[in-house]
Amino acid sequence: MINKTVSTSAIQEPTLIPRKTLFGNPEITNPKLSPDGKYIAYMAPAHQNILQIWLREIGQKESRQLTNENKSYIWNVLWTYNSKQLIFLQDFDGDENFHLYSINIQSSIVRDLTPFPGVKAEIIALEPAFPDEILVGLNLNNRQKFDVYRINLNNGSVEIDTENQGNIVAWKANAQLQILAAIAATSNGNYNLIYREEVNKPWQKILEWDIDEDGEIYDFSQDGKSLYLIAFENANTRCLIALDLKTKQETIIAEDEHYDVDCVIAHPTERHIQAVGFYQDKLLWRVLDESIASDIKAIESVRPGEVNFISRDLEDKKWLIAYQSDNAPTYYYLYEREFKSSTLLFSDRPELEQLPLVPVQPIAYQTRDSLNIHGYLTLPKDLKPPYATVLLVHGGPWGRDTWWFDPKVQWLANRGYAVLQPNFRGSTGYGKAFLNAGNRQWGAAMHDDLIDGVNWLIDEGISAQSKIAIMGISYGGYATLVGLTFTPDVFACGIDLMGPSNLITHMENNPPDWELHMPMLKHRVGDLETEAELLKLRSPLFFVDQIEKPLLIGQGANDPRVKKAESEQIVLAMRQAGKTVEYVLYPDEGHGFARPENRLHFYAVAEEFLAKHLGGRFEPIGDLEGHSGIIK
């Protein structure tokens, strides 16, 4: 039972937290410790509020700006093992055709290592023994598949390393920076684990994972004799497994009866597994290597919150640790093993520390067919139930919500709304039975789980039945459209961000590099060739006439995953049918908002929309500068 006790004295509404505080850029984010333990690289805003890469020497307070990007967002900043270069990915206005760049920390010279128009780069491997090389996947010769290229980090030379035989979807290199393992897709949707003893030897199939039991390669052991796998092998949950490549014997290293392996800690040079994380309601670590048991104990005692291990130096003397909470900034500490000491470096958003943030409570409820749904409930501060409520649906749908500081959740709660985040069937982390219960259930049983969550809120006295909105991005946007079309009496309004409206056109227009995954998508969503009618029945576009409540749609024009046509065709259909819809297009965004100006603009529009239809508080839009949003 959720605690809904409130004071009987006069209620004073909490301070209205400025949107800029929640949706603007963090003060510092994405820090990484250099392999030699001398520096921390991180991202922080600079001129025009654009996130740049900065460098700070350990023990010093001053930092130096390395990059000077004028617009495009920098992704996935990593150290190379020579400790004099960083690498990062960058696309063009959200198109996801990422280029790989390097930057020298002394000269600040930036080099495009993959200067090929329309080509996408994927980082495959860096190894300490080869500090001046990197293996990169590029769909240079065929946009539907990635070959492996070896790039020299000093002179930028690019040469083919391993050609894709046509169906490889993932590569893995050993400690000698050799591609000796891979995962290959099959025409029936299964995945094969393949291996070769040497780079000039033929590939051999080691395992075949059924379409409902796919796995992944975590890494090679240091001696190359074993592969660490994360898979469902003969179990309902994803286990961490050691596969002996000679005997083909599998040994379970770590497993949980109810939850999948979520993350793994391995020694930075010896590569053996030291701890495994299972994400239950919160992230819990299970120590496997006693040599770090006292370190984990010391780290977990520093402050409350989830512990995340960001990076370690190669001598394994210094660790960079993040403490993440539901209603506080993320705090970053430098942990020194020799002294078992932790030093606070910074928090990502210090301005949050004195603000009226609220706790995120893990909850569970049962569906109409007796599945247990786990999720999170956040209640507005100092208000009485029943609350106006937002059902916030995660994307994927093959992902899950977790217990963390989510700006959207705190924003909604601060404006006076309860927020429910259900991990409906098809969500990951809860085992294969729960995951596969979502197969072919888009707009059907997956949506029933959401409606059962709404009914639970009402039955518990948490939510006002006439004041519940639905909101989400990607699959969550689709769920919003489904909510307003298939269950038009349930929700007071909806907010759809980049959600597909027509599963037929959505399946026809996936990015080229998704082609090898199409059998899996057909299995989980529906086959366009044989089940077109099913896809049509699950597509909100064809049920626009049933919409009764207002809808707000946001879309990135360059979105490669959910094309802007998915939003524009339902906007057109609604307007032709005389339905209420607001539409905001962002010409320089893709599948989400990378630019803070655009985030601030859309959530300002959304805030006023919710206030109008649910009655919550709102901060006036004011004069927002720099955004690209076009209200159409």
Question: Tens digits of per-residue pLDDT, 323-350?
Answer: 999 999 999 999 999 999 999 999 999 9
Instruction: Give yes or no: 47 in active site.
Output: no
Strand 99-104 and strand 85-90: pairing? antiparallel
Segments of the chain with pLDDT less than 50? 1-10
Question: Could you tell me the two tokens for 343?
Answer: 């030093």
Give dist(CA 117, CA 589) in Å, integer. 18
pLDDT for residue 14? 87
Please list the residues that pair with 363 across neighbouring strands. Answer: 375
Selected catalytic residue, list 226, 474, 501, 567: 474
List beta partners, residue 90: 74, 99
Give the whole-angstrom CA distance, residue 453 versus residue 424.
Answer: 9
pLDDT at 479: 98
Q: Using the CB atoms, write b or e for 121-145: b if 16+ within 10 Å.
A: bbbbbbbeebbebbbbbbbbeeeeb
Burial class (CB in 10 A: 0-12, 13-18, 19+), 199: exposed
The torsion region of residue 96 among left (phi > 0), alpha (psi -120 to 50) and beta comes to: left
Q: Which of 374, 447, 591, 627 is catalytic?
A: 591
- pLDDT value, residue 345: 97
Calpha distance 128→176 (Å, rounded): 9
Angle subtended at Cα 499 by Cα 519 and Cα 327, rounded to the nearest 5 degrees: 110
Assess whether 474 carries a catalytic annotation: yes
CB-count burial class (<10 Å; 0-12, 13-18, 19+) for 439? middle
Q: Tell me, what's the pLDDT at 113?
A: 98
Secondary structure class of 607 (helix, strand, coil):
helix
User: In which order are the strands placed within the sheet that holds 581-586?
Assistant: 360-366, 372-378, 418-423, 387-393, 463-473, 493-497, 551-556, 581-586, 630-631
CA 108, chain centre distance (Å): 30
Distance CA 515, CA 420 (A): 34
Query: How many helices, marked H, and strands, marked E, lie in the chain?
Result: 11, 36
Non-local (6+) Cβ contacts of 218 within 8 A are: 227, 228, 229, 230, 240, 264, 266
Sheet of strand 273-279: strand arrangement: 261-266, 273-279, 283-287
* Nearest-5° Cα angle at 398, 263 to 477: 130
What lies within 8 Å, CB to CB, of 578 at 6+ separation is none
Catalytic entry in 214, 452, 559, 588: 559
Is 370 a known active-site residue?
no
Burial class (CB in 10 A: 0-12, 13-18, 19+), 593: buried
- In this predicted structure, what is the pLDDT of residue 8? 31
Q: Which domains does the chain have, with CATH numbers?
A: 27-352 (2.130.10.120), 360-631 (3.40.50.1820)
Task: Specify the residue for token string 């979807």.
Answer: 169
Q: What local confidence, expressed as pLDDT, does residue 246 receive?
A: 97
Do 402 and 279 contact (CB within 8 A), yes or no?
yes
Q: What is the pLDDT of residue 11?
A: 53
Residues 436 and 425: their CA atoms lie apart, in Å, by: 8
